[in-house]
Structure 1
Amino acid sequence: MAKLQVRGARKAYGATIALKRGDMVLESGEVHVLIGSNGSGKSTLCKIISGSVRPDAGEVIIDGRPVTVTGPQMARELGIGIFYQELSLAAHRTVAENISLARLPANAGVFVDHAAVGATAERYMAPFADVLGDGFAADTPVVKLRADQRQLVEIMKTLATEAPVLIFDEPTSALDSAQVERFFDVLRKLRGEGRSIIFISHRMDEIFAIGDRVTIMRDGETVTTMALSDADHDMVIRAMVGGQEALIATGNADDEGTRRTGKTILSVQNISGPGFSEISFSVAAGEIVGFGGLHGQGQSSVLRALFGASRRQAGTITLNGTPYTATAPRAAIRQGMAYISGDRGHDGVITDRPILENVTPVHFLRNRLTFAFPGRLRAAVLPALQALRTKYATLSHPISSLSGGNQQKIVIARWLTDPPQVLLLDDPTKGIDLATKTELFALIRELAEKGMAIILYSSEDSELLTNADRILVFSGGAIARELTGADRTRYNLYHAAYEAA
């Protein structure tokens, strides 16, 4: 009898379908790998199993019995522990307190048993003793730890649940090779004890090193499950790609070659900074350069550094042949840079303010305006709003009155009112509907045809393959491969990303 089964799980957020059909069978005493490209539904499936997301359809079966996982507490009671991609540590609590956070031992059911907390910490730290690094101790506040050390604490916290079913969603992303091998030793021991483990990773060598079977997801659906002993790297990647190996870009090789022979607008040489190193590339007038690869490999960090939102530590940048030294967004804007983030809540909208105030700040800055004349401002922003087919009642309404897609259009119109020389797009369509995406990319191609230089990072591979003239595949904060012309295929994109990882 399988330890855990998921049948026909489905989850949608409005018009966005995060999971069309998730199926999985997890046996006792196995490490079951879950793999798929960005947005394939892996994390959503795991969140359904762990109770942090309620499915719209489907069932979860544990030990042959259908269960309703109503929340994380219910999942723990059912014997499910999970490591999330986004760490859930209490930064100002100690390592020991974080490890026991899910179930703090108490004296008389009231006071925390600090001796028991310390003993638990020592127990789960012991297997990692020689790879913890300097400054790591049971009484160290988590806020003082490095990224790899914090990730180890999260792993220990998950192990401390003692759950029969453990889910690890990209647990090795910040670990070095020695730390990964020690973690795998722990997983092998748990597997030998009959525990059941779901393991998500984008590193192909890890998948084959630790996994027994692999379930492959594509476009929100489970497509196949196979024994890793009967598979190889190429077989797994082809299953991820399916029948979509051919070039699907809208342009052809001749168009791309013509654009690349145009005037170089932006030249980047050997820049390094937090999350990336030794990055070099150029963008010509009228060219769309794509940043591809797995999520979190330095793409967004490079874009933010170009915009002056984070400091670069080395390298040179030229804009139209002259040195570009913007160390803050204000200076970048005045030199002709624009940055559009998909995280409109954090980097885009000015909450609780009118639409007009949200769409005009860049126009104010670029034109060095001192006084606001609403009539003139409306006339200035209307062409960009109309080009994006933005729906709103009046510009005096609060931006919160708009749908998510129209809020993002307001953010985009902010930058296009006074067209920039270089447009930096940081996953700009995240969380917006298909119709809005289509309109946005039609506009992006139109801007490129008018000579704008554009850099596009997207977590959706199809957006890059459909719109980018070249794709720079990132891995570990560096450019692993450049895909041009007929090499711009889904297979090559996956192969470059996963093999490099």
Structure 2
Amino acid sequence: MTELLIRGARKAYGATLALRRGDFDLKGGEVHVLIGSNGSGKSTLCKIVAGSVKPDAGEVILNGQPVTIAGPQASRALGIGIFYQELSLSARRTVAENILLPDLPMKGGLFVDRVALASRAARQIAEFEGVSGEGFAADTPVFKLRADQRQLVEIMKTLATEAPILIFDEPTSALDRAQVERFFEILNRLKGEGRSIVFISHRMDEIFAIGDRVTVIRDGETVATSNIAETDVPSVIRQMVGEHDEVVAAPPAAPAVSGDTGTALSVEGLGGSGFSNVSFSVARGEILGFGGLHGQGQSAVLRALFGAAPHASGSIAVRGEPFAAANPRQAIARGVAYVSGDRGRDGIVQGRPILENVTPVHFLRNRLRIVRPGELQKKAAGPLDALKTKFQTIDHPINSLSGGNQQKVVIARWLIDRPDVLLLDDPTKGIDLQAKSDLFALIRQLAGEGLGIVLYSSEDAELLANADRILVFNSGSVTRELSGEDRTRYNLYHAAYEAA
């Protein structure tokens, strides 16, 4: 009998259509894998079931009855437990408290029943005995745990709900092999007990090890459901890509680079937190793409190159000269620029005027002490115009701009004094299509002027359309380079997913 059925689920955020048509069915006693590329709509579909996202259309049927899931509490009341890709732990609380956080046992309605808390949490902790690692205990505060241990706590919290339907959105991304094997033993036991499990993963070996069926979502639509025993890795990847997969046309040739040519950036054997043994070079006038699944070390490498995170090994050279930034200020002085897609964290200064947001790098590179607003406005006008930035006056607060125009201001700040190397860390995240078009047109122009550009994008289409070469990352290392006729969507998916 089908436990859960989703028909025609649809969700849009403004002009962005996150889910066009989501169809999914989950049977009792099965592990049903949900797979698709970055941004395909997998997580949105699961969040609809979990009650954290309200669909614009479609229906959810549970045990044969249509249901309206008004929120996370309503979802839990219906017997649905979910592991979110973004961990939702309380750092200052203990492991035991976090495991039972959605349903803390109370005494007299006022105080936490510590005896019941310890007893219930101990059962979950015991499931992972021997693989949870040193320092993992019921009374350990979560902030003292490693990334894999925090992920185990989130898994335990989901299992502790004892829900008949469990949804796991990339639960193994930070786990080691022994932890994954133990987790799969638990899932197989729960399946044998008749529980129903939705499992999202980008690791093909895991999908074929644990799944009974697999459903593929592509570009916001459910496109295929297959029995795991009757399919294989190339077939699943082909469903993710679609029937028509051709070599993506190479980016338009950049104008001849004036002045000297050569290497803008070279990296040899770079290693640090989240990446290891990364080597590549970027020629002046070249756009080098970083591809692969989200969180495979791409952003960590870019931040290390900019001095925003340390690296433990390897060498870096800019324009042939050895370079290692201890902090972003040193990178800026050497002509290295970094644009983050997280403009709230790494970009804009909230509440301050556009002029102040567009000129701080100019101040640092030129060691300015005296402010002449008129001169600054003239210097800022060129980059802002080149990006087609829309604003009333440059003295308006940056918060008065749309997200796309805020990101254009962040990019413009690096162009007042041209850098040698431009590091783009998922720069189009959360901006509209026109803003993306304006940005990539300028990037190609900058490459033509001799900049060496490294572009990481979580959208595969952006990489294929704009990068001259693509390095595919997996587990912190480069596993394949795609260039020329190898630059197809299938090859990009195959390199990212099969290696995973």
Q: Residue 444 of structure 1 corresponds to which residue in structure 2?
A: 443
Distance 1:79 1:262 in 2: 63
Contact 2:7 2:24 in 1 (8 A): yes
TM-fit CA distance, 1:111: 1.9
TM-fit CA distance, 1:435: 1.1
Contact 1:6 1:59 in 2 (8 A): yes
TM-fit CA distance, 1:58: 1.2
Query: Does 1:294 find its partner at 2:290?
Result: no
TM-fit CA distance, 1:255: 8.0
Alignment of 1:225-240 (within 5 A): 225-240=225-240
Alignment of 1:390-401 (within 5 A): 390-401=389-400
Identity among equivalent positions (%) equals 68
Alignment of 1:201-350 (within 5 A): 201-251=201-251, 262-350=261-349
Q: Residue 372 of structure 2 corresponds to which residue in structure 1?
A: 373
TM norm structure 2: 0.98
Distance 2:100 2:186 in 1: 18
Distance 2:350 2:491 in 1: 41
Aligned to 1:281, the other structure's residue is in SS state strand
Contact 1:249 1:468 in 2 (8 A): no
Distance 1:423 1:304 in 2: 12
Contact 1:244 1:490 in 2 (8 A): no
Q: Residue 103 of structure 2 corresponds to which residue in structure 1?
A: 103
Aligned to 1:464, the other structure's residue is in SS state helix
Distance 2:126 2:59 in 1: 38
Q: Residue 463 of structure 1 corresponds to which residue in structure 2?
A: 462
Q: Residue 151 of structure 2 corresponds to which residue in structure 1?
A: 151
TM-fit CA distance, 1:312: 0.8
- Cα distance, 1:400–1:308 mapped onto 2, change above 3 Å: same
TM-fit CA distance, 1:251: 3.2
User: 420-429 or 410-419: which moved more?
Assistant: 410-419
Contact 1:340 1:412 in 2 (8 A): yes
Distance 1:17 1:419 in 2: 36
Distance 2:136 2:451 in 1: 49
Contact 1:10 1:58 in 2 (8 A): yes
Distance 2:103 2:222 in 1: 34
**Amino acid across the alignment from 1:481:** R
TM-fit CA distance, 1:159: 0.3
Contact 1:249 1:467 in 2 (8 A): no
Distance 2:335 2:9 in 1: 47
Q: Residue 497 of structure 1 corresponds to which residue in structure 2?
A: 496
Aligned to 2:480, the other structure's residue is in SS state strand
Aligned to 2:382, the other structure's residue is in SS state helix
Q: Residue 427 of structure 2 corresponds to which residue in structure 1?
A: 428
Distance 2:445 2:59 in 1: 46
Aligned to 2:344, the other structure's residue is in SS state helix
> What value does the CA root-mean-square deviation take over the aligned residues?
1.6
Distance 1:79 1:346 in 2: 36
Distance 2:21 2:419 in 1: 42
Distance 1:153 1:408 in 2: 36
Aligned to 2:130, the other structure's residue is in SS state helix
Q: Residue 62 of structure 2 corresponds to which residue in structure 1?
A: 62
1:367-400 C-alpha deviation (Å, 9 max, x unpaired): 2211111110110011111111110000011011
Structure 1: which 5+ runs fail to align? none
**Amino acid across the alignment from 2:348:** V
Alignment of 1:144-223 (within 5 A): 144-223=144-223
The number of residue pairs the alignment matches comes to 499
Aligned to 1:340, the other structure's residue is in SS state strand
Distance 1:403 1:147 in 2: 35
Contact 1:28 1:194 in 2 (8 A): yes
Distance 2:61 2:346 in 1: 41
Aligned to 2:324, the other structure's residue is in SS state coil
TM norm structure 1: 0.97
Aligned to 2:151, the other structure's residue is in SS state helix
TM-fit CA distance, 1:56: 1.2
Contact 2:263 2:282 in 1 (8 A): yes
Aligned to 1:428, the other structure's residue is in SS state coil
Distance 1:76 1:127 in 2: 22
Distance 2:43 2:398 in 1: 31
Distance 1:325 1:232 in 2: 45
**Amino acid across the alignment from 2:143:** V
Aligned to 1:495, the other structure's residue is in SS state helix
TM-fit CA distance, 1:110: 2.5
Distance 1:231 1:262 in 2: 49
Q: Residue 15 of structure 1 corresponds to which residue in structure 2?
A: 15
Structure 2: which 5+ runs fail to align? none
Distance 1:91 1:410 in 2: 34
Contact 2:167 2:198 in 1 (8 A): yes
Distance 1:432 1:219 in 2: 18
1:402-424 C-alpha deviation (Å, 9 max, x unpaired): 11111111111111121111000
Contact 1:167 1:199 in 2 (8 A): yes
